[in-house]
Amino acid sequence: MKYVVGYRPDERGADAITLAGVIAKTQGAQLHLVHVVHGAKAIDPDVEKRALGFVPKGVAASFSTREADSFANGLIEVATEVEAALIVVGAASNGLFKRFTVGSVANGLLHASPVPVALAPRGYNRKDPLTRLTVMAGTREGWQAVLDVGTTAAGRRHVPLRLVSIVELDELEQDEFSLDNALSPARQHVNTVLAEAAASLPGTKVTVTLAHGRTIEEAVDGLGWKSGELVIVGSSRLAENRKIFLGSTANKILRALPVPMVVVPRDFQEQGI
């Protein structure tokens, strides 16, 4: 298994490599660090050395430079060529502490990538392996692909799996605004998904959480988060087949998260991450 990591000689590049190393641990996955340049721009010979210096011990890594018209296109090209299971990049550097701001690179990937994309929060510095995977198992089309990636990844890593369904109360019609009525469809869905996930992962702890708030951000803030956690969400139903398009709900989740997030393309059917 190989992960393509978008490297830039700044803190975003370091964040991306650090996250990729954490996800790769226990998987035997290899990192391929990619430095995208535009045109005939001179390349600093120390870039490769600095980039490889961020790779955790015990994780295999290689480095290459790719000329492309955009950073996102360069990463997608390389990921397609090497049949990568994941593209990893850092969030924009002007985000709030432990929050995401989606910059142009991440935005380009989140509208075009045919493979899952992992986003590292600003200042991500974890060294140990993942301790829990959280899957946002919503009720909209495409949830099965997200669940499949999450269960496969949790089973491979032997880490607990948490299934979360979020209800945004402010988006409900007035005549629907009863907490029990609002939560009932989501509760039924996650309980069904939980049973399926638990059956497919004997020996793995699977839990379910139903989060709600006036807004998505409020619901996300109300969830407990572990420092070694990774969140997996699906792309919008508006996305092209096997491509990513970050919908409004996923965008709100992203901006409220204090932990890394992976976005899975619509109808993704590969072996997971």
What pLDDT is attached to residue 270? 67
**In the listed set 120, 148, 168, which residue is the last one of a domain according to the structure?**
120
Count of the separate structural domains present in the chain: 2
Of 45, 135, 131, 33, nearest in space to 89 by CA: 33
Would residue 270 count as lying in a domain? no
Residues 146 and 191 reside in one and the same domain: yes
161 and 247 housed in the same domain = yes
- Of 120, 145, 167, the one marking the end of a domain is 120
DSSP three-state, residue 76: helix
pLDDT exceeds cutoff 90 at 215: no
CATH number at residue 60: 3.40.50.620
Cβ atoms of residues 192 and 198 within 8 Å? no
62 with 101, same domain: the answer is yes
Q: Is residue 21 in a domain?
A: yes
- Given a cut of 90, whether residue 133 has pLDDT beyond it is yes
pLDDT band for position 251 (cuts 50, 70, 90): confident
Asked if residue 214 has pLDDT above 60, the reply is yes
Task: Give residue 66's domain range.
Answer: 2-120
> Is there a domain that residue 269 lies in?
no
- One domain for residues 116 and 19: yes
| pLDDT at residue 189 greater than cutoff 50 | yes
What integer pLDDT is reported at residue 91 of this predicted model?
80
Residue 222 tokens read as: 């109300």
Least confident among 131-140, 141-150, 241-250, 259-268: 241-250
Task: Give the number of other Cβ atoms within 10 Å of residue 15's Cβ.
Answer: 24
pLDDT in tens, 13-68: 999 999 999 999 878 799 999 999 987 666 777 899 999 999 999 999 999 999 99
Give yes or no: residues 7 and 76 share one domain: yes
Domain stop point among 120, 140, 169 = 120
Provide the pLDDT for residue 52.
96
Query: In terms of domains, do 218 and 256 share one?
Result: yes
Q: Are residues 258 and 144 in the same domain?
A: yes
Asked if the model's pLDDT at residue 96 lies above 50, the reply is: no
Range with lowest mean pLDDT among 65-74, 167-176, 196-205: 167-176
